Amino acid sequence: MRICIFADVHANFEALKAVLFDAQSEMLDGYICLGDLIGYGATPNKTIDLIRRIQPNLVLRGNHDRTIVDLQYRNPTRWHRHQKLERFSLIWTHNQITPENLMYLQRLPEGPQWLDEIQAVQFVHGSAFQIDDDILTQMDGKRHLKRSLNWVTFFAHTHIAAIHSTNQRLPLIYPEPDFPYPLSTKNRYLINPGSVGQPRDMDSRASYAIFDYESRTVHIKRIVYNIKAAQDKIRLAKLPKWHADRIASGR
């Protein structure tokens, strides 16, 4: 089974469209989205509509998606977990999203989730234990791998493509694009496909992964897209300028 895995789209329709166009050439058996469909960007409804159109095998709820639908977060005085600019974007998104798309987000499951066709591979947003866990450092990866019984865990949330593993020689890799990395059954892995809509690794190109279960490889791809169009929509919506600026710098 050969699957496109993507995450952290954050209402960046231009980036998502470019990723899905590229993925069409990959002879895929399906799609998986690890969450955070909305937040930051200016096209939440078009983004959700496009994801629904491709009929993914699995779509997880991310922490931004949860915020939009969870009653405890709808009162702005209680949104203490979100930075000021992020909170502004979430309030704006809540006011823009259609009832149909809000219902779609409400029905999304939180991780961990599995597919019947793929054994010992789990899918989460932050981690298998918390939706907003940050797995960033080598120590973070080591701690989570100790608690995992799965061969591979695909995770998101940090917006940085990375491969953590129990291989003591290569415990953490920031994968080069367009290179298939072999995955040994002797090791366990935590793999982040990077962010479609807001990469934070100083590379502004959209990031996603191709996971080939039969050949035991993961291939991180970076895709050029129309950043200016995404920025113009953010500015036209009068969302925070920082959200437009950062997608061009990849941070």
The predicted model gives 181-190 an average pLDDT of 97
At 69, the pLDDT band (50, 70, 90 cuts) reads: confident
Name which residue leads in pLDDT, 198 or 74. Answer: 198
pLDDT higher than 60, residue 25: yes
The predicted model gives 163-180 an average pLDDT of 94
Residue with tokens 């962010």: 195
Mean pLDDT over each residue of the chain, to the nearest integer: 93
At 68, the pLDDT band (50, 70, 90 cuts) reads: confident
pLDDT higher than 90, residue 214: yes
**pLDDT on residue 99:** 94
Name which residue leads in pLDDT, 50 or 90. Answer: 50
**pLDDT on residue 86:** 79
Residue with tokens 């437009």: 244
**pLDDT on residue 223:** 98
pLDDT higher than 90, residue 186: yes
Domains of the chain, first to last? 2-249 (3.60.21.10)
Rg of the Cα atoms in the chain: 17
| Residue 203 neighbours by CB under 8 Å, 6+ apart | 222, 250
At 74, the pLDDT band (50, 70, 90 cuts) reads: low
The predicted model gives 192-214 an average pLDDT of 97
pLDDT higher than 90, residue 37: yes
